């Protein structure tokens, strides 16, 4: 064997070994690619790599499904423009250009159409460089956040509806924590504080819980009883009836207070006005009853009659004496006929009133004639020791009137001085 032949054989063996090694390495790479592809195919996020001309070089199964394809092979080698409407493609492409220009990763929210509407994605896009450090590709990982965005939108809509309902109320509505910090306020409560509902949130110790001691006492009462608490509060000459409702954290302990305050200023003012009018009516009725219950009846130019009916209290007794003396003075009466037929009971007070009236009339030069004293009343006067000396007593009002009209002694014989 010649030297050249030996060299050829040796090179052939080495070449075969190299081919085998290359084949082994290629298989290793393919296995690694299959493993990597299998891994990324099971990731729900959209994963892709595209060149600077927007042609896909790698994608995962989630990305293929998003684009309406069954296999990744239907995406690789195709331009993104083939899969998206122009406005969507332009938006995504703009972010790709930004990554290439900045040479660093960015986070952006992107959207794309699906069968059930627009879906939203939180995308991380980053540059992919070759061995020389030159940016050749743009990689991306897009996580579907549609459910979160829709939930956030529903929550914001629900909050907006709730706030609108709260603001529609003219009553003060507040949600506060146990330290007195406002969580939510409606327009009425905010207006009472001179700011907006957003400005009230976070404020501490606001009306009607602007007194820390009251708040602490209220929290303790509600925590102890587990029931709403009620109290009154005033601000700017306005009165409010306030109810604090317990708000628990799930099945846990008391966490917050829902404050409901109703402006009752007009109702209270109306009630006060009504009480004032009632008092005026009652006073007018009392005066009218006094006038009716103690009438002054002229008999002649020199005689008057005062019939008494019903019970005689202290106020009515004073009115009786005043009426009698005024009649004597104004009319120049010399005779006053006091009829007690309608007086049901006579006690010490009534007896003293009658005696005091007779003495006062005598001082003015008038004679008092007492009529209608029934046996029970006469016995009561005797038992009470009432001194009616100097008072003419007659059986009936008719006798008294006759006595007054005809003059003393011209009526049937009077009975004098019923006394003890």
d(CA 20, CA 16): 6
Model confidence at 418: pLDDT above 60: no
H or E segment to which residue 31 belongs: helix 3-41
Q: Are 361 and 368 in contact (CB under 8 A)?
A: yes
**Reported confidence tier of residue 413, pLDDT bands at 50, 70, 90:** very low
Q: Please tell me the predicted confidence (pLDDT) of residue 353.
A: 79
Report the range of poorest mean pLDDT among 58-62, 165-169, 384-388. 384-388
Report the range of poorest mean pLDDT among 40-54, 120-134, 229-243, 315-329. 315-329
**DSSP string across 137-176:** EEEEEEEE-HHHHHHHHHHHHHHHHHHHHHHH-SSEEEEE
Provide the 8-state DSSP code for 72: G
User: Which single residue is written with the structure tokens 């003293």?
Assistant: 352
Q: Please tell me the predicted confidence (pLDDT) of residue 229.
A: 92
d(CA 408, CA 309): 26
Angle, in degrees to the nearest 10, between helices 348-363 and 375-384: 90
Sign of the dihedral defined by the CA atoms of residues 94, 100, 101, 105, in that order: positive
β-bridge mates for residue 185, sequence order? 174
**Distances 253 to 175, 214, 353 between C-alpha atoms, Å:** 16, 20, 70
Q: Please tell me the predicted confidence (pLDDT) of residue 96.
A: 93
d(CA 391, CA 351): 13
pLDDT in tens, 273-332: 999 998 888 877 666 665 555 678 888 888 999 888 877 777 777 888 888 888 888 888
Give me the helices (H) in 294-374, please.
Answer: 314-331, 348-363
How many Cβ atoms sit within 10 Å of the Cβ of residue 112?
21
User: Which long-range contacts (C-beta less than 8 Å, at least 24 apart) are formed by 81-87?
Assistant: 81/54, 84/112, 85/113
**Contacting residues for 257 by C-beta, under 8 A, at least 6 apart:** 175, 176, 177, 178, 209, 218, 219, 222, 244, 245, 246, 247
d(CA 360, CA 368): 10
Task: Read off φ and ψ for residue 131, nearest 5 degrees.
Answer: -65, -20
Q: Are 414 and 392 in contact (CB under 8 A)?
A: yes
Question: Quick check: helix, strand or coil at residue 71?
Answer: coil
Task: Read off φ and ψ for residue 227, nearest 5 degrees.
Answer: -125, 160
H or E segment to which residue 212 belongs: helix 212-225
**Distances 85 to 9, 71, 78, 111, 392 between C-alpha atoms, Å:** 61, 21, 15, 12, 123
Model confidence at 417: pLDDT above 60: no
Q: Please tell me the predicted confidence (pLDDT) of residue 41.
A: 82
β-bridge mates for residue 316, sequence order? none
Q: Work out the percent of the chain whose per-residue pLDDT is above 90.
A: 34
Q: Supply 38's token pair.
A: 């299998």
Domains of the chain: 18-144 (3.30.450.20), 152-263 (3.30.450.20), 294-416 (3.30.750.24)
Q: Please tell me the predicted confidence (pLDDT) of residue 358.
A: 84
Model confidence at 99: pLDDT above 90: yes
């Amino acid at each position: 064997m010649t030297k050249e032949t030996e060299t050829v054989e040796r090179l052939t063996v080495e070449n075969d070994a190299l081919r085998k090694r290359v084949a082994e390495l290629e298989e290793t790479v393919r296995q690694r690619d299959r493993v990597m592809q299998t891994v990324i195919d099971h990731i729900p996020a959209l994963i892709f790599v595209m060149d600077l001309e927007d042609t896909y070089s790698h994608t995962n199964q989630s990305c293929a499904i998003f684009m309406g394809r069954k296999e990744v092979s239907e995406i690789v080698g195709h331009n993104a423009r083939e899969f998206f409407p122009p406005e969507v493609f332009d938006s995504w492409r703009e972010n790709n250009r930004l990554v290439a220009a900045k040479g660093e990763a960015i986070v952006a929210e992107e959207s794309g159409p699906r069968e059930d509407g627009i879906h939203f994605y939180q995308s991380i896009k980053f540059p992919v460089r070759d061995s020389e450090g030159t940016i050749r590709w743009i990689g991306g990982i897009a996580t579907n956040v549609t459910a979160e965005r829709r939930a956030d939108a529903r929550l914001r809509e629900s909050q907006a509806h709730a706030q609108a309902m709260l603001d529609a109320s003219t009553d003060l509505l507040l949600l506060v924590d146990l330290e007195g910090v406002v969580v939510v306020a409606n327009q009425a409560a905010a207006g009472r504080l001179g700011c907006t509902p957003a400005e009230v949130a976070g404020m501490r110790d606001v009306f009607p819980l602007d007194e820390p001691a009251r708040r602490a006492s209220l929290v303790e009462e509600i925590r102890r009883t587990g029931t709403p608490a009620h109290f009154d509060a005033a601000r700017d000459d306005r009165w409010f009836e306030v109810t604090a409702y317990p708000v628990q954290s799930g099945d846990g302990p008391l966490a917050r207070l829902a404050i409901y305050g109703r402006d009752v200023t007009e109702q209270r003012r109306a009630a006060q006005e009504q009480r004032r009018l009632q008092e005026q009516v009652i006073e007018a009725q009392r005066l009218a009853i006094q006038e009716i219950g103690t009438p002054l009846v002229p008999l002649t130019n020199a005689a008057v009659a005062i019939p008494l009916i019903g019970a005689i209290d202290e106020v009515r007794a004073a009115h009786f004496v005043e009426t009698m003396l005024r009649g004597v003075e104004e009319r120049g009466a010399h005779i006053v006929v006091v009829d007690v037929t309608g007086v049901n009971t006579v006690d010490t007070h009534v007896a003293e009133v009658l005696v005091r009236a007779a003495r006062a009339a005598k001082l003015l030069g008038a004679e008092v004639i007492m009529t209608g004293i029934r046996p029970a009343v006469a016995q009561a006067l005797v038992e009470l020791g009432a001194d009616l000396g100097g008072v003419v007593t007659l059986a009936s009002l008719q006798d008294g009137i006759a006595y007054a009209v005809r003059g003393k002694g011209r009526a049937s014989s009077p009975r004098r001085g019923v006394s003890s």
